[in-house]
Amino acid sequence: MASAQRFAGYPLAREGPKTVYAYSEDKNPALRGWPLVIAANLCKSVTRSSGLAKLLWSNAKFGVANDIAGLNDYNPRLQVGNALDAGRCAPTKVEITEDLRDRQPEDLAGRFYSAADYHELYKSGRLTPLQVAKALLPLTTQGKYKSAWAATNEPLVLAAAKSSTERYANGEPLGILDGVPIGAKDDIDVEGYISHIGLTYDPSEPFFKPAKETMWPLAQLEAAGALLVGKLAMHELGSDTSGCNPRQGTPVNWNNPSYYPGGSSSGAGSAICAGLVPIALGTDAGGSIRIPSAFCGIYGLKPTLHRTYTMKSSVCVIGPMAATASDLTIAYRLMSAPNPEDPVQGGFAPSVPPSPTAKRTIGIYSAWFNQASPAVLEATKKAIAYFSEKLDYEVVEITIPYIEEGQYAHGAWALVEGMDRACTSAVDMLKYGQLRELLMEHLAFLFKKHPGLLILTPTTPEAGWRIHPGDAAYGFSDGNVTMRIMMYIWLANSTGCPAVSAPVGYADPEPGAGRGKLPVSLMAMGEWGAEEQLLAWAREAEGYLNDTCEGGRRRPEEWADVVALADKADEETE
């Protein structure tokens, strides 16, 4: 059976070689404090051709693709592909269906405010968007929540809130997102804001200039009335997955502040799990949406490459993060509206969910899946049993070739795209492209063999990344942990497939590592263009967490009740 979600350049469905996956832990030294400072200064003097640079590149195993026999049988794929075949269906904006407007029960454990909650509050007249904006703005610049924010423009926020308030007063809201507070990661351009990309502001640097135009995905949310409260903090240059930022400050993981929030969309994870906003936009080149979503116990979608915006990258996307699966869906549907001025993104046909009667299949590569920690395995396997026993998913064993080699190739590719001093060659890039083609062809084979297949793994193999004393001064570099945390997420970036992360349980922190259980998340990766199928699965996972998982969903102790804060602020001004 051929795929129903084809695109220009869709890979040949060809099974890859039979390989044996045996996880091997990296043994690189972790650098902190002065050793890190010395190493960083040394790296500044390293040239592409220096022996030290080549040694570091080799030690990081970034040349492993050169040793794979048979890669010459595959054409190098330097870009994943183009838009889904719009000839089947003219690109249109997907509707916000009534089921997404349903509010969760008031007595639900760990309940977060949703877009539907704000919408109902505004329509009833109990609150206005202006009251919510005035309650939130102080939290972005002072107090315990400010570390999540990189910048806010109070006049712009208040002007947008006043306009939204007037629309509700006139009975003419733009839709369910009108007046709903949201945030955007600091590397997403917003008109009137400077993108700091996690760096200290330096007016002498030419790239620290206010953006002239808001990026398309965010512009679609604002066009629907969403209230952008500000830009959210991120890992410096988006270069790691912990979220530690000694320059701007590290956002807090409110589930347990002794652990990092995850990165690089760290501010988004922190702000959502704190209850400040129900929706934020992030970017993801190596798990930067899904990792903080997992660590912070929220929902995150990495769309198909270029689905929401044509990035100057073959691995990076812009996607939504949200407190609820419904809000994740609302944000995705609005931000993925086709852009008539973008021939790639604008050519995508709408993502179409499978028929309710379609066979439901989960693929598990056990040798890979089982490398997660015992606590993560316990939580994720309980969730998979629920999908199998209660929701009639068939669980099948699959294999994927060259898992370890593919991850190193993805890491090197991301470095090449993100830095101008990456020590790689054209030969390396061609080999990476051949390995990408091999993986994509194998995935196409699996999707053809099992139509509608969802490949499930833990989002991260560990429930969290504990903060090391002193990291706040200079930051740190621990490639061993970084690569382990990225163990599962890289495949979707390398092949361009969409993937969604959903919390399914909790784990205890390490002894002496603060209070608060750590969220554990499960990740589903689907076929190119299968976002709606993934979002439907995320809503099923949310049902499991809320109604079946022991204890249900947990809300951080320091969760901010924005509605109560807005009520209080209104009373004080009367």
Choose the catalytic residue: 239, 242, 264, 266.
264
**Structure tokens given for 304:** 């198909």
Distance CA 507, CA 375 (A): 6
Q: Where are the alpha helices (DSSP H) in 504-559?
A: 531-547
Return the SS3 of 536.
helix
The catalytic residue among 3, 195, 288, 293 is 288
Q: CA-to-CA distance for 5 and 487, rounded, in angstroms? A: 27
Is residue 23 a contact partner of residue 404, using CB atoms and an 8 Å limit?
yes
What is the residue-wise DSSP string for 22-35?
------PPPEEHHH
Q: What are phi and psi of 555, to 5 degrees?
A: -110, 140
Pairwise CA distance, residues 397 & 508, whole Å: 29
User: Helices 115-124 and 325-335 meet at what angle, rounded to 10?
Assistant: 90
- Is the distance from CB of 327 to CB of 346 less than 8 angstroms? no
Euclidean distance between CA atoms 399 and 420, whole angstroms: 35
- The rounded distance, in Å, linking the Cα atoms of 90 and 348 is 9
**Residues 61, 185, 231, 517: which is the catalytic one?**
185
Give the span between the Cα atoms of 471 and 245, in whole angstroms. Answer: 9
Query: Please, what is the Cα angle at 493 between 495 and 410, to 5 degrees?
Result: 90
Active site residue 185: yes
Cα 363 from Cα 467, distance rounded (Å): 34
Is 446 within 8 Å of 453 (Cβ atoms)?
yes
C-beta neighbour count of 511 within 10 angstroms: 5
Tell me whether strands 149-151 and 361-364 are parallel, antiparallel or unpaired. Answer: unpaired
What single-letter DSSP state applies at residue 393? P
Residue 462 tokens, joined: 């560990």
Is the four-CA dihedral 335, 283, 419, 415 of positive or negative sign? negative
Residue 13 and residue 124: Cα distance in Å, rounded?
54
Distance CA 534, CA 512 (A): 37
Please indicate whether residue 204 is annotated as part of the active site: no
The DSSP output letter for 191 is B
Angle, helices 154-169 vs 129-141, to 10°: value is 160
What contacts 301, CB < 8 A, 6 or more positions away? Answer: 289, 319, 320, 321, 328, 332, 498, 499, 500, 501, 531, 534, 535, 538
**φ and ψ of 225, to 5 deg:** 95, -5
Q: Which residues are catalytic?
A: 185, 264, 288
